[in-house]
Amino acid sequence: MIRCLDNTEHTVAMQIYDIFQASYKIEAALIGIACFPPLARTIDDIFAAQTQFYGYFEAQELAAVVEISIQDTVLIIDSLTVSPSFFRRGIARKLLCFIMEEYPFSRALVETAAVNAPAIALYKKQGFVAVKKWTPDHGIEKVAMSITNTEQS
């Protein structure tokens, strides 16, 4: 089941934080970097976020979180994380499809590490294409991916 999460509730912010930490530690290891910027995000950062969070629940347990924002008609996927104990069950795809169906958008954007093959494969399967590669100050090469919603164009 997918439902909206109220990140301004401390308990919910803590659950989101826990999923982020567990998932991003795995991603940091995959990338091969110790100082992974998403791991520096605090509970207070999540609590104060102006983005929208949705959670995927399995047997009443929060298994995954997607964080989005909307700018005009552009859907931005700020984060998509799955608890490691729920990996490889198609949950990330379900959350991604839910968001893309729930919000009318002309274009959707997401960024990930250029070496994050599982994430890139997920987005490509949903029709995203790489539109930009760059290396920010933190030194982790990133790729931006985009999809155009032909129904909204």
Question: Which stretch of DSSP H or E encloses residue 65?
Answer: strand 61-71
Question: Residue 153 falls within a domain, yes or no?
Answer: no
Q: What does the pLDDT read at residue 33?
A: 86
pLDDT digits (tens, 9 = 90+) for 64-118: 999 999 999 999 999 999 999 999 999 999 999 999 999 989 999 999 999 999 9
pLDDT digits (tens, 9 = 90+) for 38-61: 999 999 999 999 999 999 999 999
Q: What does the pLDDT read at residue 152?
A: 59
Question: Residue 69 falls within a domain, yes or no?
Answer: yes
The answer on pLDDT for 151 being more than 90 is: no
Count up the domains in the chain and report the number.
1
Residue 16 main-chain phi, psi, to 5 deg? -60, -45
Q: What does the pLDDT read at residue 149?
A: 86
Question: Residue 10 falls within a domain, yes or no?
Answer: yes
Q: 16 exposed, middle or buried (CB, 10 Å; 0-12, 13-18, 19+)?
A: buried
Pairwise CA distance, residues 132 & 7, whole Å: 31
Question: Residue 38 falls within a domain, yes or no?
Answer: yes
Question: Residue 141 falls within a domain, yes or no?
Answer: yes
Here the CATH number for the domain that contains residue 133 is: 3.40.630.30
Question: Residue 101 falls within a domain, yes or no?
Answer: yes
Cβ atoms < 10 Å from Cβ of 148: 14
Q: What does the pLDDT read at residue 137?
A: 86
Domain that includes residue 80, residue range:
2-148
